[in-house]
Amino acid sequence: MNRRQFIKVLGMGAMSLELGAIGFSSVKRSTEIAITIDDFNWNKSLRLIPEERNRAILQALRSHGDLKAAIFVACKNLDSDRGKEMLREWDRAGHLIANHSFSHKYLNSNKVTAEAFTADIARCDEIIRSYPRFQKLFRFPYLKEGDTAAKRDAVRAFLEKHGYRNGHVTIDASDWAIEDRLSSRLTKDPAADVKPYRDFYLAHMWERAQYYDDLARKVLGRSVKHTILMHYNLLNALFLGDLLDLFKSKGWKLIDAQEAFKDPMFQAAPKIVPAGESIIWALAKETGKFNKLLRYPGEDSEYEKAKMDKMGL
C-alpha cells in the first residue's frame, strides 16, 4: 500500500498531507482499547491450576461488560484434550480465536525460512479452524515480521493468498517480563506478597498505553482503536480485572476485539526492515520522522529490568 492509498484508507481522501498533520474530529471521544492475549500457555500450575487460571481470565472479561477479547493461540498448546477443552471455554464465551502459528517460531532468525514459517501457520490453521469463533487473523510471534524484505513479503503474500489479516498490536508491552519475575518469586516462596508485582504491572501497562496512544496521535493525527498485547499467564489471571478497572478509571473505553480490528489503520503494511513491532511503531518508523521517540525492539525485558531490580522484584 503506497502513501496515497494509505491516507485514503484512513478516510481522509487522496490529500497531499503529511501523516503527522492529518486532522481529526473536534468531537471528544473516549480512547478505545481491546484486549488481545497471546500464546495460550495453559500447562502451568503455579498458584492456580490451569482450569482456575482459565476461569479467572474469562471471569475478569465477563465482569467488565462481558468484554470479548481475541486469543492468539500457539497451537502446540492444543496437543491434549485438556487444552482443547479450555480453549472451547473461550469459544463458547464468544471470544475471537486466532492463529499465532504452531511452534511460535522467531521469524527474524536467519535459521527460520519463510517456507518453514508459513508451513507452521498452516499447521495451526488446520487445528483451530473448527472452532466456531475462529477468524483468519494471524499474529506474528514476538511481533517479528521478517529480518529481510524478501522474507517479510513472502509471508505477507502467503497470508493474503489464504485470506488472513495481520492481527496487529497497537500497544506493545512487557507483561511477560513481569510474569517471569513473579513466577520466579512464587517458585521460591509460594506465600510471597504479590501486590508489588500487581502495582508494577499496572503502572507499566498504563505507561505503555499512554506512550503508544501519544505516538498514534503524532503519526496519524488521531487515536486508534487500540489492541493491547497481553499474554495468557498467571499475572493476568490475578490482575486483568484490576487493569480493566484502571483503564476505565482513566476514561478509556473497553471495546471488543472484533470492533477494534475494524479500524482501517490495521490494513497498513509498513515497508520497514526488520519488519514488525507495534503497528503504530512501524508506521512511525516508516515515516523516518520519529526515530528519537522509538527504541528497538519496541519492548524488551531489559527496559524494565533496572526498575524491577531497584524495587526488589
CATH number of 32-310: 3.20.20.370
Query: pTM for the whole thing?
Result: 0.91
Higher-pLDDT residue of 24, 268: 268
Span 56-99, pLDDT tens digits: 999 999 999 999 999 999 999 999 999 999 999 999 999 999 99
From the number of C-beta atoms within 10 Å of its C-beta (0-12, 13-18, 19+), residue 296 rates as exposed
- Helix, strand, coil share (%) of the chain residues, nearest 5: 50, 10, 40
pLDDT of residue 29: 82
Tell whether the model's pLDDT for residue 9 goes beyond 60.
no
From residue 222, how far is each of 12, 39, 174, 267 by CA, in Å? 12, 30, 24, 16
Domain spans, the chain: 32-310
Average pLDDT estimate for 106-114:
97
- Give the lowest-confidence range in 3-17, 118-132, 234-248: 3-17
What nine digits make up the cell of 198?
500487581
Which range (11-25, 105-119, 275-289) has the least confidence?
Answer: 11-25
pLDDT in tens, 155-211: 999 999 999 999 999 999 999 999 999 999 999 999 999 999 999 999 999 999 999
Which residues make Cβ contacts (< 8 Å) with residue 271, sequence separation at least 6? Answer: 149, 286
pLDDT at 237: 98
For 199-237, how does the pLDDT look when each residue is reduced to its tens digit (9 = 90+)? 999 999 999 999 999 999 999 999 999 999 999 999 999
DSSP string, 73-142: E-GGGGSSHHHHHHHHHHHHTT-EEEE--SS---TTSTT--HHHHHHHHHHHHHHHTTSTTEEEEE--GG
Taking residues 21-30, what's their average pLDDT?
Answer: 52
DSSP string, 263-276: SGGGG-----SSEE
The secondary structure of residue 252, as a DSSP letter, is: P
Q: Cell 473516549 maps to which residue?
A: 30
User: What per-residue confidence (pLDDT) applies to 6?
Assistant: 43
pLDDT digits (tens, 9 = 90+) for 245-281: 999 999 999 999 999 999 999 999 999 999 999 999 9
